[in-house]
Amino acid sequence: MIRFSIGAQRLASGLIAGAVLLMLAASPSYAAAKIQRLVSPGGIEAWFVQDATVPLIAMEYAFAGGAAQDPLGKSGVGNMVAGLLDEGSGELDSKTFHERLERRAIELSFSSTRDYFRGSLRMLKDNKDEAFGLLHLALTSPRFDAADVERIRAQVLSGLRRDTTNPTSLVSRKFLEVAFGDHPYGRQGNGTLDSVPKIDVADMKDYVRRLIAKDTLRIAVVGDVDADTLGKLLDKTFGGLPAKPNLTPVPEVEATKPPQRAFVPLDVPQTVVTFGGPGIRRHDPDFMAAYVVNHIIGGGSSSRLYKEVREKRGLAYSVYESLLWMDRSALFIGNTGTRADRAGETVDAIEKEIRRMAEEGPTQKELDEAKSYLKGSQMLALDTSSKLAQALLQYQLDKLPIDYIEKRNALVDAVTLDDAKRVARKLWGQGLLTVIVGRAPQAAAQPASAPLQAN
């Protein structure tokens, strides 16, 4: 979501509203909550947890499509739509629409991810009718007024210009290009300096027409509302949407086979490194083993990479690795930043540790500790209504069962040492795709003219 202030009053109102919702959202973990499959009178389905601990309702929802549906040559359409849906709808111009949101402490946002166009809505219980009504307007009657379109476009382009000198942005963009080439996953979801100026209102209206439909809609709601009331709200909000989308097929794609290395020159004293390779899809039988063993290699301050790169060698402030899965592919991906004159040593240390994990796998002690952490951390990850709603939506998008929260720890426990070793070879046995952004080795010893970039 791209959010822009319209005057100091809007900013102050937004901060106050956000603070109210934040205070009300704090509550014990929802991990053991009862999850219902709710079907509205009009046939709109949602995963729902009724909880009256605080007078707050959180809803997360998504439509299939996302940035992968941006037209060829016009990457960034979905991102522009996400920034404009709450900039005026129906008879309400941008200023009036935002005043309505802020007056009732309603939080409404949109985003375009690789595979989905997502939305988030939070409100106090007493403001639910207005909140759902404004969402309905945003989805069904976006204005795309010229002044708002150009304001959002200018903000997007400003960010893209900053990205041209930001090593973290450059390394992310280049890594996706290396991994996926000309597949839609290889494009940047927020567009490019060439594509964003070409996007017009017709492109955005067409995007909404093709994606916003009931057939691919997934919804998760947590909060102080009963099932009958929620069903009626869902019908009023989503019931009038088209039945089916008109999506462009996105082909399956396997990430580029390692090892490969790419270098992007940039005159900054800190070099940024992104590394990764083909991952494991969410429904692969080996996914949970991969999830556990990935935590061992790069999941936090107890990980092998952290100990080797940060603690033993002092090469970087942080280093991590994670699994990334999409509808049509999967990656493992990691990142670190280091002094320009130590970039080569850092990359060598990462490759050595990755190779050692592929060849030897984890120890039983590492496996046991990873399982213990991953089981316990779930409770902390679901400690607010908003976090639970986000998790329930993701489980639906991943096509997991509604009782997945109850089953998850048993799935973690079921991972054996043999499983972990086998998956480690599968993930890291071929080496790494590595992208390095920074100063050329021969220039690394010279002072840089640009400021230090954050990790």
For the stretch 347-363, pLDDT in tens is 999 999 999 999 999 99
Which CATH topology does 7-238 take? Cytochrome Bc1 Complex; Chain A, domain 1 (3.30.830)
Distance CA 127, CA 125 (A): 5
State pLDDT tens for residues 41-56: 999 999 999 999 999 9
Residue 405, C-beta contacts closer than 8 angstroms, at least 6 positions apart = 31, 35, 378, 382, 391, 395
Q: Other C-beta atoms within 10 Å of 166: how many?
A: 19
Distance CA 28, CA 32 (A): 10
Answer positive or negative: Cα dihedral of 309, 311, 315, 317.
positive
Q: Give yes or no for a contact between 134 and 105, defined as CB atoms under 8 angstroms apart.
A: no
pLDDT of residue 290: 98
pLDDT of residue 448: 38
Residue 219 has pLDDT above 60, yes or no: yes
Distance CA 102, CA 105 (A): 5
Both tokens of 305, joined, read 């990479």
State pLDDT tens for residues 10-21: 333 444 344 444
Residue 30 has pLDDT above 70, yes or no: no
Which band of pLDDT confidence, cut at 50, 70 and 90, is reported for residue 31? low
Q: Which long-range contacts (CB under 8 A, 24 or more apart) does 173-178 make?
A: 174/262, 174/264, 174/274, 174/435, 174/437, 175/274, 175/276, 175/333, 175/433, 175/435, 178/256, 178/260, 178/262, 178/433, 178/435
State pLDDT tens for residues 243-272: 999 999 999 999 999 999 999 999 998 999
Task: Tell me where in the chain the CATH 3.30.830.10 domain(s) lie.
Answer: 7-238, 260-443
Which band of pLDDT confidence, cut at 50, 70 and 90, is reported for residue 380? confident
Please provide the average confidence, as pLDDT, over all residues in the chain.
Answer: 90
Closest CA to 139 of 47, 228, 237: 237
Question: Residue range 279-302: average pLDDT?
Answer: 96
In DSSP terms, 62 is beta-bridged to: 118, 218
Q: Give yes or no for a contact between 344 and 438, defined as CB atoms under 8 angstroms apart.
A: no
Does the pTM surpass 0.85? The reply is: yes
State pLDDT tens for residues 71-91: 999 999 999 999 999 999 999
Quote the percentage of the chain above a pLDDT of 90.
87
State pLDDT tens for residues 402-452: 999 999 999 999 999 999 999 999 999 999 999 999 998 654 444 333 333
Does an H or E element contain 219, and which?
strand 218-223
State pLDDT tens for residues 93-118: 999 999 999 999 999 999 999 999 99
Question: Residue range 226-247: average pLDDT?
Answer: 97
pLDDT of residue 246: 97
Both tokens of 366, joined, read 């590492």
pLDDT of residue 436: 97
pLDDT of residue 442: 54
> E-strand spans in 239-285?
260-265, 270-278
Quote the percentage of the chain above a pLDDT of 70.
89
Which CATH topology does 260-443 take? Cytochrome Bc1 Complex; Chain A, domain 1 (3.30.830)
In DSSP terms, 334 is beta-bridged to: 275, 321
User: What region, left, alpha or beta, does residue 147 occupy, with left being phi > 0 and alpha being psi -120 to 50 degrees?
Assistant: alpha
Residue 379, C-beta contacts closer than 8 angstroms, at least 6 positions apart = 29, 31
Q: Give yes or no for a contact between 29 and 399, defined as CB atoms under 8 angstroms apart.
A: no
State pLDDT tens for residues 335-344: 999 999 999 9
